[in-house]
């Protein structure tokens, strides 16, 4: 590490031994990637665990519900451990497949043919039509 202030928050762990084995170019690339991943304005950035307030909220929720730090620290490992079969089993068990409603927004002439693929009962509304939001 370089001299100066280093601020990591509790959810990140750095192994100084592994870090010392990286050359300057590798450390610089890793630093840039970390900054990119932590940028809350980047496309696809998570909506939670980004700001100090959000982190405090998560820590409060962990305490309130009696959960351990592993709920955060091991979250991605648990998600990665889910197999396709397990995910499909959950979908089959908890998500209904009958009487689904799809809402497609866009130019009706362009969306109409796409909507027709999902079912015979396509209803079109314009945003100027009274009550369009309460279909």
Write down the domain spans for the chain: 16-94, 97-135
How is residue 98 written in tokens?
């009958």
**56 HSE (CA, 13 A, CB side):** 3
How is residue 9 written in tokens?
């928050």
Report pTM: 0.34
40-88 per-position pLDDT tens digit: 777 776 665 567 777 788 778 888 888 887 777 787 788 888 899 999 9
């Amino acid at each position: 590490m370089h001299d100066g202030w280093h601020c990591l928050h509790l959810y990140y762990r750095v192994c100084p031994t592994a870090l010392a084995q990286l050359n300057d170019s590798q450390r610089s690339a890793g630093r840039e990637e970390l900054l990119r991943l932590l940028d809350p304005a980047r496309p696809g950035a998570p909506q939670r665990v980004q700001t100090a307030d959000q982190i405090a909220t998560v820590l409060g929720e962990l305490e309130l519900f009696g959960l351990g730090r592993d709920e955060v620290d091991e979250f991605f490992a648990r998600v990665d451990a889910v197999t396709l079969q397990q995910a499909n089993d959950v979908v089959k068990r908890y998500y209904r497949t009958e009487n689904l409603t799809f809402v497609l927004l866009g130019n009706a002439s362009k969306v109409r043919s796409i909507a027709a693929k999902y079912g015979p009962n396509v209803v079109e509304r314009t945003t100027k039509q009274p009550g369009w939001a309460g279909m």
